[in-house]
Amino acid sequence: MARVRSVGWRSARWYGTPATAGAPSLAVQQLPATPGAAPGVNSEQPAGTGVLDERYLVSQWPWVGVRWSLAYIAFLTYVFVVTSYTLPIGTAAMLAVLFGCFLGERVRLTPVGVMLCLFLVVGGISYAGSDWKPFTNEILSDLAKMVLVFLSAQVVLDSKERLRFFLFFYLFAFAFYPIRGSLFNYFIYHETVEGRAVWNQQFADPNDLAALLLLPMSLGLGLLTVERNKKLRFLAMGSLIFIPFVLALAQSRGAMLAFLAGAGLLFLRNKRAQKMMLVGAGVIAIVFVTLAPDQLWKRMSSLEQVGAKGAAAQAVDEGSMEQRLEIWKVSTIVIKEHPVLGVGPGSYPFAHVFAARDPEVLDTAGGLRDAHSTYFTLMAEYGVIGFAIWIGFVLMILKKADGARRRLEKRLPRHAQQLLMAEIGLISWGIAAVFGTWIIGPFTYIGLAILWAMAESGEKLAVDMGIA
């Protein structure tokens, strides 16, 4: 699986008066009717300590109440550019974001931002000791850009309204470019990789295409859960149909395993919506059974022969799994030789060439290779120190999201479900990351920033509504 490279640089609205600190219930407020609400619903928010009617927390259209600014618009532009590849202005857009952050934005450095900056420092130290610095200087620069992308996202996604509009915008960009493009390539232009759906640039590898769709799918399902406007729900529903379809066409075993694991975890954790999930699973099953290519079932069945060697491995999947296992074996050799700080950002392929000369390694794993795993690459390039910091950075985001979800789940269950789906989307991506390298790539850090922003939004919502 190819290494991902950078190409450049919901919103809740509460109409009532927040409850005072520690108040057990909300005062009765005369609230505006919500467009698209079910007939016969009283326009007054009932008092009480039970579940609240969450239709009053979501505005009609995503752009309602958004605070526009240079930094926010430039960040939207950057996200559109790195998703669509239609304009070569990624660097210019990101520079505009950085400039705009100091014009009316609240610049801040969160604890998770500090962790990521510390990871960059470790990467710089590791780079200084690398034997391949002349060949990898762009990688450290790309890593610094990804840090800025994450920090900028934390600055601009600072309100419920901004976050909600961004989620719709983000899904729009994916729907009209990677998803539409891969479907057009597959059915109209017949441009595939050995019969597997692809698009271009960062999505030109079917494994990367499939894995990078996991989090957008979870975000779409989250919007479907919390949005009450029928038109918006209809738009979000596309993620339930088209993304699993593209996953099937991409035929990525790693992404499919991650998808199934995430679906199972969501079913076990989301007891309030298990009936709805069974219906959704039925829809997805129909899509898979009727439209998925036969080659997908062949590739998935090949997992039973994961330990096959030699001619047997070639007969299963042309030796793909055997080669990957050998590459992972080489990566463990590199890790053992450079355990503390690793070989340096971007240096793994060069270290792989020498480690693959081990007589116990098959010739198929030789040459300049990627480690085909985010975790093996982290350990090999950044050492145990960098690995611990980066994993800690991700776990800190998940912990914050989980804490916010637990605060909301009793009285605002729909918003809690939205957070749960985003969490599981990130966990699914983490499972897929076992099979692909995505340390340097904008979608990794945009996705992590989205989950952090959703957690912050959930915490603010809990405070505003007096939820302990």
Find out whether 12 and 52 touch, Cβ atoms under 8 Å. no
- pLDDT (0 to 100) of residue 32: 42
Query: Can you read off the two tokens belonging to residue 172?
Result: 């729009």
- pLDDT (0 to 100) of residue 152: 97
d(CA 348, CA 377): 7
Short-list 169, 254, 240, 151, CA closest to 212 = 254
| Domain assignment of residue 308, yes or no | no
Short-list 294, 229, 175, 312, CA closest to 10 = 229
User: Rounded to two decimals, what is the model's pTM?
Assistant: 0.83
- pLDDT (0 to 100) of residue 228: 83
Q: Is the pLDDT of residue 263 over 60?
A: yes
Q: Is the pLDDT of residue 123 over 90?
A: yes
Distance, CA of 356 to chain centre: 32
Average of per-residue pLDDT across 266-284: 66
Find out whether 450 and 4 touch, Cβ atoms under 8 Å. no
Average of per-residue pLDDT across 234-252: 85
- pLDDT (0 to 100) of residue 60: 79
Average of per-residue pLDDT across 433-445: 95
- pLDDT (0 to 100) of residue 275: 62
d(CA 263, CA 171): 20
Find out whether 23 and 466 touch, Cβ atoms under 8 Å. yes
Q: Is the pLDDT of residue 27 over 60?
A: no
Average of per-residue pLDDT across 105-128: 96
Q: Is the pLDDT of residue 411 over 70?
A: yes
Percent of the chain with pLDDT over 90: 57
Quote the domain boundaries for residue 135: 70-302+372-464
Find out whether 10 and 418 touch, Cβ atoms under 8 Å. yes
Helices (H), 303-373: 310-317, 320-337, 348-355
| Domain assignment of residue 41, yes or no | no
Q: Is the pLDDT of residue 446 over 70?
A: yes
| Domain assignment of residue 61, yes or no | no
d(CA 57, CA 10): 10
Q: Is the pLDDT of residue 190 over 80?
A: yes
- pLDDT (0 to 100) of residue 194: 87
* Region of poorest pLDDT, from 214-218, 266-270, 367-371: 266-270
Averaged pLDDT of the chain = 82
Q: Is the pLDDT of residue 240 over 70?
A: yes
Structurally, the chain folds into a number of domains equal to 1
The CA distances from residue 382 to 23, 280, 302, 343, 374, in Å, are 49, 41, 33, 7, 11
| Domain assignment of residue 265, yes or no | yes
pLDDT, tens digit, for every residue of 294-329? 565 455 555 555 454 554 444 444 456 778 889 999
| Domain assignment of residue 124, yes or no | yes
Q: Is the pLDDT of residue 244 over 80?
A: yes
- pLDDT (0 to 100) of residue 336: 96
Neighbours of 332 (CB within 10 A): 14
- pLDDT (0 to 100) of residue 241: 80
3-class secondary structure, 410: coil
| Domain assignment of residue 50, yes or no | no
Average of per-residue pLDDT across 86-104: 93
Higher model confidence: residue 452 or residue 277?
Answer: 452
Q: What are phi and psi of 38, to 5 degrees?
A: -65, 140
d(CA 25, CA 462): 12
- pLDDT (0 to 100) of residue 50: 57
Q: Is the pLDDT of residue 281 over 70?
A: no
- pLDDT (0 to 100) of residue 231: 85
| Domain assignment of residue 360, yes or no | no
Short-list 15, 22, 21, CA closest to 53 = 15
The CA distances from residue 178 to 1, 152, 184, in Å, are 18, 24, 10
| Domain assignment of residue 74, yes or no | yes
Q: Please name the amino acid found at residue 360.
A: E
